[in-house]
Structures are given as structure tokens and as C-alpha cells.
A and B are shown apart, each in its own frame.
Chain A
Amino acid sequence: MLSLQSYLTLSAIIFSIGITGIVINRKNIIIVMMCTELLLISVNFNFIAFSHFMQDLAGQIFVFFILTVAAAEAAIGLAILVALYRNKKSISVGDLNKLRN
């Protein structure tokens, strides 16, 4: 039986991978969106681990809501991406440079 600590460590690692992926990625916005999904997955992991070890259902219910909202968020993000691609013909992060000081 794994301890709560192992679950939390794994979730923290996933979260860091997500943040790192967003920060160092310069090529593709889709990868950024995948990384934001990773962040939410790590949160879900946390919730399920806590919920299991505390024998409290609220955390698992929260996970359902996070999954639903994440799906809606991804849909909106992809819609914005499609509009951006139509205008710009590029989905590279480096090309998001029209608005500057």
C-alpha cells in the first residue's frame, strides 16, 4: 500500500512538469494547452489521494467538476486557437508578439 506522501510527491512532480513545459516551450501553443491539462490532472491526483486517505467523498466529487470544467476550458482554448490560426497562419508561441509596450 502506497503512502499518502508518494501520491503527493507524484502529483507535485506532474505539476512541476506542467509548469516547466509551459515556461520552456517556444514552439507550439497546443503543447502549452497539454501542459495546462497536466496541471489540472495533478490537482485531481491530489484530491483523490486526500479523499481516499481521509475517507471523505467531497474531494472525489470535486474531481468530477474539475474534469468537466477542464473540458470546457480546453474547448474554449481550442476555439481561440482556431481563430488565432485563421488570422495569423501560425500557432507558434514566439509569434505572439504583436502587442508590446
Chain B
Amino acid sequence: MTFNIIGSILPEVTIAIAICIVILVNSLVRNASVTLIHSLVLFFLSFALFLSFVSLELPDSNIFEGHYVIDAFGTNLKIIALIAAIFVHLTSIKSKQNIKNEIFLIQLFATLGVMILCSAHNLLTVYLGLETLTLSMYGIVASNRNSIEATESAMKFFILGAIASAIFLYGVSILYGVTGTLSLDLIENSKLLDSLEMRIAVAFMACGIIFKFGAFPFHSWVPDSYQGSNTTAAIYISSVPKIGAFALIARLFLDSLNAISDFWSILILSAGLLSIIIGNMIALVQVNLRRMLAYSAIGHIGFVLLSFSIVNPNGVSASMTYLIMYLIMTIAVFALIESIASEDHQHIELGDLKGLSKSHPLIAFMLLFCMFSMVGIPPFIGFYAKWIVLSELVNNDMIWFALIGVTMSVIAAYYYLRVVWFMYFENNDQDIENKGVINTQSITSIMISAMLLLIGLYPSPVIDYTRRIISSFLLID
């Protein structure tokens, strides 16, 4: 019996063991090299990924008294999170840099938090997973502790995060009072689901979830932490935690609180719509590349939420498709930025991209791919992501929202294509040196960017995959 339970949570156990081993190696081995830590982390992440693939075969089950659920939806989200974590890890491999070993350890903690969130089926486990993720994210943002910008953004992120998780908890406490249970299974049996108190609780919890996504009313931490921290941190917080937030919103709102979906879908819809508008508008005036990408990420997350608020299986699977494609795009673009950022020059302004097509032709070309993909130009994946979301909106009589989405994408083309303009049509005044450095990092970033085009040419597997997962998730109850 015990063995069965441990067997079904083997991926999480692997990550937990990896954390212990990395801590031990870091403190016991004198001058543990970055390469050693890298290979350890990479090995354990891949092993956990393998175990998650194996546990896809397991039957659905509730373990730990219903606190934790093993199902296809959770396991698939874990697989996506682990793949994203592996790619993030690969892109942060750089021979000469002053990144501390601890950041990889904290990333493992955050990945564990995401995995717990993917399977949590009780508000207590949800809270613990959420806090494992959030507390590690503070550490990731603050990891560059000698820089004023990094510590300042970490402090802002900490204050906002503490408020957001307190608001989420207040909602949880009201929900506990109304329904009398913390189990996500039993919430839907409550007779008071349609009461005012329940709506207040849902609104409070929605605040916490929207903060985790980094969408409009609670978006102010996103640009600060992307800009202030180093790129290794930015690439992580822009990708993996969003999967945890998606799992949370799907399990809590879509599954347990489906009875009042017309209330929370309005909240999510307005957050998504305003994120698209605000994110893309403010991104127009940014000069710092990472800050611009942060606002564009807010816009992309707006699309995810907008499509989630349709609530039916097609809308939610479109939302998940957009999320996956957003993850690929964001990891690719940050990886490329990371590979051109030099050690003492982490804050890339748009002007620094001048003449990049001459100094780093291949990276500039791949960055061109990424920008085209983010605009939504076919045949890149960004086009399919936007297309599937917009077509679902039109199918569900939300044409006006689709129109706003299209308009904002057109406006967004301005700032994405400005990057391309700087790379290809502006000349650098300083003498151009063709560096042509090929390291693991540029190989990885080029690999991921090539994925942009490949999946863009043949996107149907991803779309079918999300459809299958979401319909199996919604069929269970």
C-alpha cells in the first residue's frame, strides 16, 4: 500500500531527493564546480521526466486521504513543466558567468512547487504547493544579490506576493466557512455555492491566481522582476510558474467551482482582456528589451485567460495550447537574449541590438523568427496559438473580444518588429567584431528557436494533445 503511494508520486520524490543531493554537494564538496551542479540537476530533471512518462500508465487515484490526485491532466502538466524546466536549465549553461550555484537549487524547489500544484486536490496542498513556488520565486529573483536592481525588484515582488497570497488565503478561509470542507472534491456538493459569500471567496482567490499568472490588476511585479533580475532568473519565472497557475485555475475554478462559472469567468475575462490591452500598450514605449518582453508576456497571458474564460472544453484546450506555445516562444527568446548578453552588460536596451545581424548573424536570424512568431505571422507557432484562441472566441459569440485581440496583436507588431529593425537595418557605430562563439547555450537556444518553426509548420499534434488532456480532465466528473 505504502509502496503504491510512493510509486505514484515518484517524480516529486525524485525532485525532492535531487534537492537534498544538490544541497549536500554544494556544502560538502569544496568549490563545487558549476558543471557538476549542472549535470546533477539535469540528470535528476530528466529522470523525473522519465518517471512522469512512466506514471502516465497509472490508473487515476486519490492518495493521502484525497489531498493529492494522480490523473492524466496532472501528469501531463508535470511533463510540460519538467520539459520547460530542462530547457530553462540548458539555456542557463554558460561557461563563464557569476551565477551562483544556489539558483539551480532554488529552481528545483520551484519546480517541485509547480508539480505539487499540478496534483493538489485539497486547499491545504494547493496552498503548500503555491507557497513552495512563490517563496522560491522570491529567491530566484533575488539571486543576483549584489545588484541594486535585483534586490529592489525582489523586494517589490516579495511585498506584492505576500499581499497576493494573503488575499488568496482569505478567500480560502471564507470558502472553508461557506462549504465546511477543504477538499476540492467536496466543495461542489455544497448547497451554498451560489451565495454572495461564495462569490466574495471566489473573487479573493481569483486575485491570488491572477497574480501568479502576472495578469493585469496584479501585473506590476512582472516588468520589475524581469528587468531587475538576471536573464537566467527571468527565463525561469516567465515560463514554469505559469504552468502551476494554469493547473491551479483548472483544478480550483474549472473543476470544483464549475457551478458558478458564469461569475468567475467574468473576472477572468476582464483580467485577460485588460492584460492584452494594457500589456501591449505599455510595451510600445519600452526601451529595455527585457522590460518590453515582460509587458508582451502580460499580453500573451491575457490571451490565455481570455480563452480560458470561455469555460467549455474547446476554449480551455485553446488556452492550454496558447500557454504551451507561449512557453516555447518565451524560452526561445530569452535564451537568445541570454546568449548575446555579456557578463557586465546584462541590461540590454533596444539600441544594443544595432548591427546584431552582422556580429551574430545566426542568433539575429533566430531572434527574427521569435519576433515574427510573437507577432503571429504564419508559419510560426505564434500564429497558430493566436488563431486557435481567436477562432474559439468567434465560435462562442465573443466576436468583440476577438476583434480587440486582433487589434492589439496588430499594435504589438510595432514593438516586435522594431527589434527586427534595430537588428537588421541599423548599423552599429562601434567596430563590428564577428564573435561567432558557439557554446552549449547558443546551440540550445538555436534548437528551441528551430522548434518554433517546426511546430509552426505542423501544429496539429500539440492541438490534439491539449484537446485530449482537457476533455479527459473534464469527463472525469
A residues whose Cβ falls under 8 Å from a Cβ of B: 8, 15, 18-19, 22, 29, 32-33, 36, 39-40, 42-43, 46-47, 49-50, 54, 56, 58-59, 61-62, 65-66, 69, 72-73, 76-77, 79-81, 83-84, 87-88, 96, 98-99, 101
Contacts and interface: CB of A to CB of B under 8 A. Distances in A.
Interface string B147-163: 11101111110110011
Given A36-B162, A36-B166, A80-B158, A65 B224 contact: no
11 contacts: A22-B163, A32-B159, A36-B159, A73-B165, A77-B162, A80-B154, A84-B155, A87-B146, A96-B152, A99-B224, A99-B228
Contacts of B181: 56, 58
B162 to A, nearest CB: 4
A84 B173 CA distance: 33
A24 B423 CA distance: 44
Interface of B: 123-124, 127-128, 131, 135, 138-139, 142, 145-149, 151-156, 158-159, 162-163, 165-167, 169-170, 172-174, 176-177, 180-182, 223-224, 227-228, 282, 285-286, 291
A101 B180 contact: no
Ordered nearest first, which 7 A-B pairs have the shortest CB separation?
A: A39-B166, A46-B173, A36-B162, A50-B177, A84-B151, A43-B169, A83-B145
A49 B145 CA distance: 41
B153 A101 contact: no
A89 to B, nearest CB: 10
B166 A46 contact: no
A47 B162 contact: no
B158 A15 contact: no
Contacts of A43: 166, 169-170, 172-173
B163 A54 contact: no
A56 B180 contact: yes
Contact of B170 (A39, A59, A72, A99): A39
A88 B151 contact: yes
Contacts of B154: 80, 83-84
B128 A65 contact: yes
Contact of A80 (B131, B149, B155, B282): B155
Contacts of B145: 83
